[in-house]
Amino acid sequence: MSELRGAITGVHTSVPDYRLTNRELEELVDTNDEWILSRTGISERRILKGVDQGMTRMAVPAVNGLLEKTGTRPEDVDLLICATVTPDMQFPASANIITDECGMVNAFSFDINAACSGFIYALTTADMYIRSGRYRKVIVVGADKMSSIIDYTDRQTCVIFGDAGGAVLMEPDTEGYGLIDHILHTDGAGMQHLHQKAGGSMRPASHETVDAREHYVYQEGQAVFKFAVTKMAEVSEEIMKRNGLTADDVAFLVPHQANKRIIDATAHRMGLDDSKVMLNIQRYGNTTNGTIPLCLHEWEHLLKKGDNLIVSAFGGGFTWGALYLKWAYDPKK
Ligand code: UT7
């Protein structure tokens, strides 16, 4: 018997139908398909349309689908953690809305905000609860409606982001599978390069903040890029080294999808060829907390029990980190 760990035992996602293509963005801002594709790797992203539609409209179907496919009764779920930067409301936590709508009457729940690294922070947190021995069924949600905080007159940010949500179930494992190791970092000084100026307690919403477009993502792309490309590669290599893994041992890199050039640099540093890199940024863009579950779900049918996965992310904060996961199940027939 190996030590008690949290292991992912199922994954499901929900993406909105509307496809915002590079061509359509050409109508909104001074950009073009060639620039977007070559600088970011993105062709289209999904957008959640409609009035009063928050991120839980993607999270709830993702979680319901997860419960169904894993044969989990909602009343058996102990805890739900939701990673998001675009909660339905400032409070209560979106996690509470999800547990209520999904009938998880015995679960407690809370949100985590670590920007684009939120999903790996939340997975690590879920693992800690499971390792305590007190919690057996923990759901981790990663979902964002980035279109609610994107300025569609700012060509540098509007081409990157999209909307999506996903969820995984984590359960105890004592056979050597699950979350083996993690490295997480925060550098609050990075705040100056990537933030949302208004809407918090420092600058509550006012006519002035709305007129100044301060409720949108503010990003100094180049500064963030430089940090992201260095840190994501560094931490991914570090977690391989300290666990004695070579490129041959790694089945897949599961990278946060912020920019294809950041992912390529990370894979290169790890010595991985493209066939071992989960990449779907071309179809979804950067969905912030949605990117990693979107990848896991899309590649689920190729993952085998015992596969070594390196999951890594970089995001606003700055926050970044990498996980070493040993996949816990074979594809379901
Ligand atoms: O997930 C959270 C963390 N976020 C990230 O990791 C994002 C990191 N940053 C990036 O991915 C990239 O910096 C961007 C995609 C945001 C921008 O790409 P870049 O290669 O860093 O472009 P740049 O800011 O250096 O701009 C290069 C040129 C500029 O023109 P000049 O000054 O050289 O004439 C920009 O004005 O490209 C111009 N530009 C555009 N041109 C066409 C910037 N945005 C666009 C655009 N279409 N959408």
For 187-210, how does the pLDDT look when each residue is reduced to its tens digit (9 = 90+)? Answer: 999 999 999 999 999 999 999 999
* pLDDT of res. 332: 81
**Which of 160, 149, 259, 167 is closest to 205 using CA atoms?**
149
Residue 333 has pLDDT above 80, yes or no: no
Backbone CA torsion sign across 330, 142, 126, 116: positive
The answer, yes or no, to whether any atom of ligand 1 lies below 6 A from the CB of 218, is no
Residue 244 has pLDDT above 80, yes or no: yes
**Which of 190, 221, 169, 13 is closest to 114 using CA atoms?**
190
- Tokens found for residue 278: 């989960």
- The CATH number of 5-177 is which of 1.10.3720.10, 3.30.300.30, 3.40.47.10, 3.30.70.1350? 3.40.47.10
* pLDDT of res. 115: 98
Confidence of residue 222 (pLDDT cuts 50, 70, 90): very high
User: DSSP state, 18?
Assistant: E
Give the residue-averaged pLDDT of 88-97.
Answer: 98
- CATH class as words, domain 180-326: alpha beta
Q: From ligand 1's centre to the CA of 159, what distance in Å?
A: 9
Give the residue-averaged pLDDT of 251-278.
Answer: 98
* Domain residue limits, the chain: 5-177, 180-326
- Is this structure's pTM higher than 0.75? yes
The answer, yes or no, to whether any atom of ligand 1 lies below 6 A from the CB of 155, is yes
Q: From ligand 1's centre to the CA of 321, what distance in Å?
A: 23
* pLDDT of res. 30: 97
User: Given this chain, do its domains 5-177 and 180-326 carry the same CATH topology?
Assistant: yes
Atom of ligand 1 nearest to the CA of 40: 15
Confidence of residue 279 (pLDDT cuts 50, 70, 90): very high
- The tens digit of pLDDT for each residue in 4-41 reads 999 999 999 999 999 999 999 999 999 999 999 999 99
